[in-house]
Amino acid sequence: MTEENNNIDASKMKKAWMVYSLIIFLVILVLVFGVAGDNEERLFFSLMTAAAAYVFRPTDRFMKKKIAQYSGSSEDSADK
């Protein structure tokens, strides 16, 4: 039963990271195609947005809390 719970938690974590990645990708697209005026700004917005998203990425502990909050699952594995 614990292995099944771990698999479910891992699946939810993967989905959460995919959502985070897609949001960052959409932000990059908006900045590159909507805000940037020339090629230099496009390069800057694409690289710096990705770098900032990596540096300020949420911790696993925060992601587990939010997954538990939105999915309604128990949070006993997040504290251990």
Predicted TM-score (pTM) of this structure = 0.77
CA distance 6 to 30: 36
Q: Return the pLDDT at 8.
A: 80
Domain ranges of the chain: 2-69
Sign, CA torsion 74/75/78/80: negative
At position 65, the amino acid (one-letter code) is K
Mean pLDDT, 10 residues at a time, the chain of 80 residues: 78 91 95 93 94 93 90 58
DSSP assignment of 21-62 equals HHHHHHHHHHIIIII--SHHHHHHHHHHHHHHHHHTPPPHHH
CA distance 59 to 48: 20
